[in-house]
Amino acid sequence: MAGMKENAYARAGVDIELGNRVKATLPQLLASTHRPEVLGKVGGFGGLFALDVKKYRQPVLVSSTDGVGTKLKLAFAMDKHDTIGEDLVNHCVDDIAVLGAEPLFFLDYIGTGRLEPHVFTELITGFARGCAANRCALIGGETAQMPGFYQPGEYDVSGTIVGVVEKSRMLNGKGIRPGDAIIGLAASGLHTNGYSLARKIFFEQMKLRPTSRLAGLDGTIGAELLKVHVSYGPLVQQLLRKFNAPDAPATGRVIKGLAHITGGGFIDNLPRVLPAKCDVVIRKGSWDILPIFQIIQEKGGVPEAELYQVFNMGIGMTLFVAADQVAAVLKFIAARKTKAWVIGEVVKGTGVSRVV
């Protein structure tokens, strides 16, 4: 009877045996993400992580959940899926890095109509690569086969990250004051936001294909749009260790706040860390805009103000820095092979961000 049930389920579109065979490869794929705090093995009903509380006086757990949006459409079109997993890990790492948290562990969710082994393997390979680079354990996840729910050949992914920060060192923006400088860290491209508009511009308005080439780009438009979201987590941790004294009050810190430039661009993300009586002024032209954004700006027919609210425009992370330490912070960042610029400043205001 059991065999008949499995065959019937497979005929309905859910192949349990295929799922089991594919998941059997997980131990090898995830070996690079192991941390000593991980207990048990992947595949249980819950992932186990024994936090070493002796390292902290008041540990605060920081969590975030996200997806990669319609960037997935590029992965489907190009049948390239390993970078998507890396994108998702790095996006989540950056979301908790703004609070000063270092990542501990990550869990993924994959939903699809039919499980394709090569797609599953590429996705998990990307998750593992991202987790290993960020010293983050991949301790579990869920892969759901839901026939009839997704278009053939398509899937969705999301991820949840948990990190930790010492309560006294947590960044909350309270020390930000008028006169502080805004340093922008270079992005690799669109990262994981603005793809619905970008796809409309390139593939509907300009009638391009993912394999098309454009002047100014090193490769195809598809390869450009699939560039991996940068993880700023390791650099942020180095900056905080170097410049923020362990017991410094919020007003006495060098690095006073961080904002991840994701959906909402400069307009919506910077105010999330601003005190009520401060504004941010971002100055266009103060950093090197990547060719992909120049093309979007020239060909898209989109008002410039909207571009800075939809796209990161070449800046993936911003740092609120004490003005007298800007040169030292920029020198430290440059020594770690990351491009950075002073792109604006904090002024008196009402908690808004302006691009001028």
Residue range 317-333: mean pLDDT, rounded: 98
What pLDDT, on a 0 to 100 scale, did the predictor assign at position 22? 67
118-143 pLDDT, tens digit per residue, is 999 999 999 999 999 999 999 988 98
**Is the confidence at residue 4, as pLDDT, over 80?**
no
% the chain with pLDDT above 90: 79
**Is the confidence at residue 76, as pLDDT, over 90?**
yes
Chain-centre distance for alpha carbon 174: 24
Mean pLDDT is lowest, of 20-24, 50-54, 209-213, 350-354, for: 20-24
The closest alpha carbon to 100, from 202, 31, 174, 156, belongs to 174
Strand partners, 281: 345, 354
Mean pLDDT is lowest, of 49-53, 221-225, 227-231, 248-252, for: 248-252
Cα–Cα distance, 56 to 58 (Å, whole number): 6
2-169 carries CATH number 3.40.30.10: no
What pLDDT, on a 0 to 100 scale, did the predictor assign at position 340? 98
240-265 pLDDT, tens digit per residue, is 999 998 888 888 899 999 999 999 99
181-355 carries CATH number 3.90.650.10: yes
What pLDDT, on a 0 to 100 scale, did the predictor assign at position 266? 96
Burial class (CB in 10 A: 0-12, 13-18, 19+), 310: buried
Please say whether the beta carbons of 313 and 285 come within 8 A. no
pTM assigned to the model: 0.93
Give domain limits for the chain.
2-169, 181-355
Strand partners, 196: none
The closest alpha carbon to 259, from 306, 188, 325, 316, belongs to 316
**Is the confidence at residue 106, as pLDDT, over 80?**
yes
What pLDDT, on a 0 to 100 scale, did the predictor assign at position 2? 47
Chain-centre distance for alpha carbon 295: 23
Confidence bin at 102 (pLDDT 50/70/90):
very high
What pLDDT, on a 0 to 100 scale, did the predictor assign at position 113? 92
Contacts of 273 (CB under 8 A, 6+ apart): 98, 171, 172, 173, 176, 257, 258, 259, 320
Token pair belonging to 79? 């049948």
Token pair belonging to 201? 């511009």
Residue range 68-82: mean pLDDT, rounded: 96
257-305 pLDDT, tens digit per residue, is 999 999 999 999 999 999 999 999 999 999 999 999 999 999 998 899 9
What pLDDT, on a 0 to 100 scale, did the predictor assign at position 1? 44
Please say whether the beta carbons of 252 and 313 come within 8 A. no
